[in-house]
Amino acid sequence: MANWGDNTVSVIHTTSNTISATVGVGSNPYAISCDETLEKVFVVNGTSNTVSVISGYNGC
C-alpha cells in the first residue's frame, strides 16, 4: 500500500492483516504493481517523476 503523504510503502501481511514492513520511496507514491515472477514491486512516485523498484519481498 502506498502512503501518499509520508513517501513510504507499507507491506501488509494479508493473512494476519498486520503491517510487516515499511519502505521509503520517492515523493507522493500513487500506485503499485507487482511482478511476482521477478519478485519486484514497482512504485510510481507522483511528484518526483520516478519509479522505485523494491526487491527482497517474495509475495505480492
Partner 1 sequence: MAITVEATIAVGSAPRGVACDEIVDKTFVANEGPSTVSVIHSVSNTVSATISVGPSPFGAACAETAGKTFVANNETVSVIHSVSNTVSATISVGGTVFGLDCDETAGKTFVTNYSSNSVSVIHIASNTVSATVEVGSSPYDIACDETAGKTFVVNTAVDTVSVIHSASNTVSATISVGTDPYGVACDETAGKTFVTNFADDTISVIHTSSNTVSATISVGLSLSK
By CB under 8 A, tell whether 43 contacts partner 1: yes
Task: Write down the least CB distance from residue 24 to partner 1, Å.
Answer: 7
As a whole number of angstroms, the distance between CA 50 and CA 37 comes to 22
Residue among 3, 13, 16, 8 at smallest CA distance from 58: 13
Residue among 30, 28, 35, 36 at smallest CA distance from 7: 28
Instruction: Lay out the site mask for partner 1 across 8-27 (x = CB under 8 A, - = otherwise).
Output: x-xxx-xx-xxx-xxxxxx-
Binding site for partner 1 (CB under 8 A): 1-6, 8, 10-12, 14-15, 17-19, 21-26, 28-38, 40, 42-47, 49-58
